[in-house]
Homo-oligomer: A and B are copies of this chain.
């Protein structure tokens, strides 16, 4: 229902209605002008041609050096989402199942469904601070399991996986020789220390992107880091689908990496303030949620709520949120993206409190 609400929100907006869109993780901040100028400059230099399906050498080398891998381990993708889709496609196209902790980012489940792959969920709960239970994880894995997907920090909970728990997950995956796809799109702007999958070595897969750290959501650029065999397969899939990410967008991304610390800090500070605001307003309406470890989300619960009806009604009042059912079996929860300027956000949070009563 996540995407339906988004298309409906866009439609209402195109009809002239004011919608405060807290339904998707699209930051209100503009893409920094330095990044825009880098793209423009590249266009004018003729970087408007077909290019390598792996991505530009310069960008791959830069990302390799940041992540302490080789350039051959890096593939540039049109968004982190494509990294997830294409990796899932390659690992699951001949059947098998994928293990996913819940609540999950909607796309994982939709992709699995589209691919006809079986999903095995490991449910986590607000009451235990979204902790992944290792015994449960181990019990759902069998010899048909082709991959485990982690989202660290998590969308929708903004929870960071504790280092000890992550150690345990990796141990289980290594024992059973199952690759972990770790989607870490929020890791560079996390408030809490976030251990990265690449620190463990092995054939695990990092998927991430430029969207969140650099407010480049609509540019559609991300990357996958994995073994060279996977990267070659991804490039072959790129060749028959989207060809390559526009080179001028890759040059903009290269510029973004130069601004990394400055931008990441700015975003972190802004979202810390927004998270604080949410923490002050939402409890008034008896909404319970865990303190966010990262941008952009809170995932509150209200006992007895039907979040689908709630989200549709709220949209008519000019606020878009995502119902908890989009993230697994969480009907009493809904997800708020803190992705509006603070004054709009305050208005929206108060409307949410009124509507929930």
Q: Is A107 part of the contact surface with B, judged by Cβ < 8 Å?
A: yes
Closest residue of chain B to A116 (Cβ to Cβ) is: B93
A220 and B243 form a contact (CB under 8 A): yes
Contact call A48/B219, Cβ cutoff below 8 A: yes
Chain B neighbourhood of A216, CB < 8 A: 48
Contact of A240 among B30, B49, B110, B249 (CB under 8 A): B110
**Among A51-59, A127-135, A260-268, A304-312, which stretch is in contact with chain B?**
A51-59
Question: Which residues of B lie under 8 Å from residue A33 when comparing CB positions?
Answer: 44
Once the chains bind, are A39 and B31 in contact (CB under 8 Å)? no
A219-247, CB < 8 A from B: 219-220, 236-237, 239-247
Q: Which of B50, B219, B220 contacts A218 (CB 8 A)?
A: B50
Provide the bound-state CA to CA distance between A26 and B244, in Å: 13
Does A78 lie within 8 Å of B242, measured CB to CB? yes
Is residue A333 contacting chain B, with contact meaning CB distance below 8 A?
Answer: no
Q: Is there an interface contact between A79 and B242, defined as CB atoms closer than 8 Å?
A: yes
> Which chain B positions have C-beta within 8 A of A81?
240-243
The verdict on A114 contacting chain B, using a C-beta distance below 8 Å, is: yes
The interface residues of chain B lying within 8 Å CB-to-CB of A78 are 78, 220, 242
Q: Is the CB of B46 within 8 A of A30?
A: yes
Decide yes or no whether A3 CB sits under 8 A from chain B.
Answer: yes
Contact for A48 among B10, B48, B218, B241, CB less than 8 A:
B218
With CB as the reference atom, state the residue of chain B lying closest to A113.
B240
Tell me the nearest residue of chain B to A215, going by C-beta.
Answer: B48
Contacts of A47 in B (CB 8 A): 218
Report whether A217 and B10 are in contact in the complex, using a CB–CB cutoff of 8 Å: no
A292-B35 Cα distance, complex, nearest whole Å:
43
- Distance between A43 CB and nearest chain B CB, rounded to angstroms: 5
**A14 touches which one: B46, B57, B114, B215 (CB < 8 A)?**
B57
In the assembled complex, A297 has its CB within 8 A of some CB on chain B = no
Per the 8 Å Cβ criterion, residues 16-45 of A in contact with B are: 24, 26, 30-31, 33, 36, 39-40, 43-44
Q: Would you list the 6 A-B pairs with minimal beta carbon distance, nearest first? A: A31-B48, A49-B218, A78-B242, A48-B218, A40-B40, A26-B50
Give A contacts to B, CB under 8 Å: 3, 6-7, 10, 14, 24, 26, 30-31, 33, 36, 39-40, 43-44, 46-54, 57, 78-79, 81-82, 85, 107, 110-111, 114, 215-220, 236-237, 239-249
12 sample A-B contacts, Cβ–Cβ < 8 Å, listed by A number: A3-B53, A7-B53, A31-B43, A36-B44, A40-B43, A48-B216, A48-B217, A81-B241, A110-B239, A218-B246, A220-B245, A246-B249
